[in-house]
C-alpha cells in the first residue's frame, strides 16, 4: 500500500502530465498546462443513485428539463426544412432550420390534441410540420398555417396555437436545447469550454462515423466508465504492468471536467526506463501500420514527437489536408472534456470522438450511447452528409462499425464491464461505491452536479 496522505493530496509517483508535455518539441495549448483539481470528498456513492426508479424519476423531473444538452450537429440541419428529433425521457423536441436559416426548436406536440408531429429520433426534410392525426399544419417558423374545418375553431386566433418553442443555441458546431425558459444562457453554462477549444476549430468538423448502442447500465455509470484511466491496465491491457498513462484530472466550475492522458511518453513507474527507440517500437506495435517498418528515432528527439509527425502525415494523406500545425499533444493524447450532464468531446487529431449518453426512460438499468467521430473539414471540398447511425443492441459488437477501427474491440471491453457492474450494484453487501480522490474525481463531480438539481 502507498503512503497515506491527506485527502486529495495523493498523486501517482513521478512526473505530472504537464511536466511530460513540456518536453515535447512543439508547444502545447496553454489550456493543457492549466491544472484545476479540487478535492470533492470521499464518501461512498450510493448504488441507489443508479438502480432506484425513484431516483431516475427525480432526474427526469428536476434535472433533464433544466440543463443544456446537445441535440444534434449543425450539419444535421444544414438547409432550410431539415429537421432532427431529439428525445430525452418523455420529452421530445424538433430542431429545424427555418426559411431564413435560423435554427429553432419546438416541443414535438401538436397544439390541437397533443399528438407527436414526428417519430422518436426522426430526421429528414419537410416544408412544414403536419399532424398525422387531424392534419393541422405548421410552418417551419412554428406558425399554424392550415387548420382543417376552421369554422369549428373560432377560439383559435392569431398565434395562440403556434408551436411552443424550446430554448436553442449553438457552440462548436453543436446544437443545444434547454426545456427551461428561464435557464442561464448557453455561453454561461459552457464555462471554460470556448476558451479551451479556441485552438481546435471544433465547429469546422464533420461527422465521419456515428454509432448508437444500447448499454446494460445506468447512464451515469456508463459515463463514469469513460471518465478515468484507472481501468486501463486491467480492462484494456489485460493486467499488464505500467500500462497506465500519465494523466491530469481537472474540474472546472461549474459544468465542465476533463482528463488528458499521454500517448507514447515515459511512464515514471517503470522499474527501468526504456529508450526512445524502445518506446517507438511499443507505439508502432500497437498503433502503426502492419506493413510498415518502425521509424528510427533520431538523436535528440522523442518517440512521441516522431510518431506525432508520422500521424500528421498519415492523416494528412488520408484526408488531403495539412495537419502539421497541430502540436504533439494535440495530435496524440487522449483529450477528453465533459460538459454536464451527458456530452464528451475529444478535440484531438488522432482520437476525434464525441460521446452522448441518454437514460432509458423506462428502466434505470439501461441507457443509450451515441458515439461520433468528427474529422476536420477540407478547406476546399464539400464534406459528406452526416451518416445514419449504426444501431447496435446490447449483444452487438462495436467491431461491426468499420469506422471505429481498432477502437471497436476496446469499446467492447468497456461494455462487458458495464453489464458486470449493474449485476454487482444489486448484490453488493456494501451500499455504495468507493472512489479514488484524484483519478475518479470526475465521477464524483458528475454525481454532485446531479445532486445539485435534485435538491432544488
- Whether the per-residue pLDDT at 213 is higher than 60: the answer is yes
**Residues 23, 74: one domain?**
no
In a domain, 5, yes or no: no
DSSP state letters, 110-122: -TTT---SS-TT-
Band of the pLDDT at 176, cuts 50, 70, 90? very high
**Residues 278, 130: one domain?**
no
Number of compact structural domains in the chain:
2
pLDDT score for 240: 64
Last residue of a domain, one of 125, 149, 182: 182
Residue 289 to residue 386: CA distance in whole angstroms: 28
Residue 111 to residue 119: CA distance in whole angstroms: 16
Q: 296 phi and psi, to 5 degrees?
A: -90, 135
User: How big, in percent rounded to 5, are the helix, strand and coil portions of the chain?
Assistant: 30, 20, 50
pLDDT score for 242: 53
**Residues 359, 211: one domain?**
yes
**Residues 322, 411: one domain?**
yes
Do the beta carbons of residue 89 and residue 56 sit within 8 Å? no
**Residues 201, 317: one domain?**
yes
How confident is the model over 261-304, as pLDDT tens digits? 999 888 877 778 889 999 898 888 877 776 778 999 999 999 99
In a domain, 409, yes or no: yes
Of 61-75, 228-242, 393-407, which range is least confident? 228-242
**Residues 36, 103: one domain?**
no
**Residues 210, 349: one domain?**
yes
**Residues 270, 302: one domain?**
yes
**Residues 274, 306: one domain?**
yes
Last residue of a domain, one of 148, 182, 216: 182
Q: Which three cell numbers stand for residue 229?
A: 484511466
Residue with cell 428525445: 87
- Whether the per-residue pLDDT at 136 is higher than 90: the answer is yes
Nearest-10 Cα torsion for 126, 127, 128, 130: -50
**Residues 177, 200: one domain?**
no
pLDDT score for 158: 83
Give the domain extent around 436: 17-52+195-454
Cα of 212 vs its chain's centroid, Å: 12
Mean pLDDT of 353-375: 98
Query: The domain that contains 250 carries what CATH number?
Result: 3.90.380.10
In a domain, 279, yes or no: yes
Band of the pLDDT at 312, cuts 50, 70, 90? very high
**Residues 259, 366: one domain?**
yes
pLDDT score for 456: 82
Q: Is the pTM of this model over 0.75?
A: yes
**Residues 313, 414: one domain?**
yes
Amino acid at each position: 500500500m502507498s503512503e497515506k496522505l491527506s485527502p486529495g493530496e495523493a498523486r501517482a509517483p513521478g512526473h505530472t502530465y504537464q511536466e511530460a508535455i513540456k518536453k515535447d518539441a512543439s508547444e502545447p495549448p496553454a489550456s493543457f498546462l492549466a491544472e484545476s483539481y479540487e478535492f470533492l470528498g470521499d464518501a461512498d456513492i450510493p448504488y441507489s443513485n443508479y438502480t432506484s426508479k425513484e431516483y431516475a424519476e427525480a432526474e427526469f423531473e428536476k434535472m433533464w428539463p433544466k440543463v443544456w444538452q446537445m441535440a444534434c450537429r449543425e450539419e444535421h440541419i444544414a438547409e432550410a426544412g431539415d429537421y432532427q428529433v431529439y428525445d430525452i425521457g418523455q420529452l421530445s423536441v424538433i430542431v429545424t432550420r427555418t426559411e431564413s436559416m435560423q435554427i429553432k426548436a419546438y416541443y414535438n406536440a401538436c397544439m390541437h390534441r397533443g399528438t407527436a408531429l414526428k417519430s422518436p429520433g426522426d430526421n429528414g426534410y419537410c416544408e412544414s410540420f403536419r399532424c398525422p392525426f387531424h392534419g393541422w399544419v405548421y410552418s417551419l417558423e412554428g406558425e399554424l398555417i392550415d387548420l382543417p374545418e376552421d369554422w369549428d375553431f373560432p377560439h383559435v386566433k392569431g398565434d395562440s396555437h403556434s408551436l411552443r418553442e424550446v430554448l436553442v443555441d449553438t457552440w462548436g458546431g453543436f446544437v443545444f436545447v434547454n426545456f427551461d425558459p428561464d435557464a442561464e444562457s448557453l455561453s454561461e453554462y459552457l464555462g471554460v469550454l470556448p476558451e479551451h477549444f479556441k485552438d481546435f476549430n471544433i465547429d469546422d468538423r464533420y461527422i465521419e462515423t456515428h454509432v448508437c448502442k444500447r448499454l446494460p447500465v445506468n447512464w451515469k455509470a456508463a459515463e463514469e466508465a469513460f471518465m478515468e484511466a484507472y481501468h486501463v491496465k486491467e480492462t484494456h491491457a489485460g493486467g499488464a504492468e505500467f500500462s497506465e498513462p500519465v494523466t491530469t484530472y481537472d474540474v472546472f466550475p461549474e459544468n465542465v471536467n476533463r482528463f488528458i492522458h499521454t500517448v507514447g511518453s515515459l511512464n515514471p513507474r517503470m522499474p527501468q526506463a526504456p529508450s526512445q527507440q524502445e518506446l517507438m517500437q511499443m507505439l508502432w506495435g500497437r498503433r502503426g501500420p502492419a506493413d510498415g517498418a518502425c521509424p528510427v528515432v533520431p538523436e535528440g528527439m522523442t518517440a512521441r514527437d516522431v510518431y506525432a509527425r508520422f500521424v500528421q502525415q498519415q492523416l494528412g494523406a488520408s484526408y488531403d489536408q495539412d495537419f502539421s500545425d497541430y502540436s504533439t499533444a494535440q495530435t496524440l493524447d487522449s483529450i477528453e472534456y465533459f460538459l454536464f450532464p451527458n456530452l464528451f468531446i475529444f478535440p484531438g487529431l488522432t482520437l476525434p470522438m464525441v460521446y452522448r449518453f441518454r437514460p432509458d426512460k423506462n428502466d434505470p438499468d439501461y441507457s443509450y450511447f451515441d458515439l461520433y467521430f468528427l474529422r476536420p473539414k477540407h478547406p476546399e471540398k464539400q464534406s459528406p452528409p452526416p451518416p445514419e447511425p449504426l444501431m447496435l443492441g446490447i449483444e452487438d459488437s462495436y467491431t461491426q462499425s468499420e469506422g471505429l477501427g481498432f477502437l471497436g474491440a476496446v469499446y467492447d471491453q468497456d461494455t462487458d464491464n458495464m453489464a458486470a457492474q449493474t449485476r454487482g450494484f444489486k448484490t453488493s453487501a456494501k451500499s455504495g461505491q468507493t472512489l479514488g480522490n484524484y483519478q475518479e474525481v470526475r465521477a464524483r463531480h458528475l454525481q454532485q452536479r446531479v445532486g445539485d438539481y435534485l435538491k432544488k
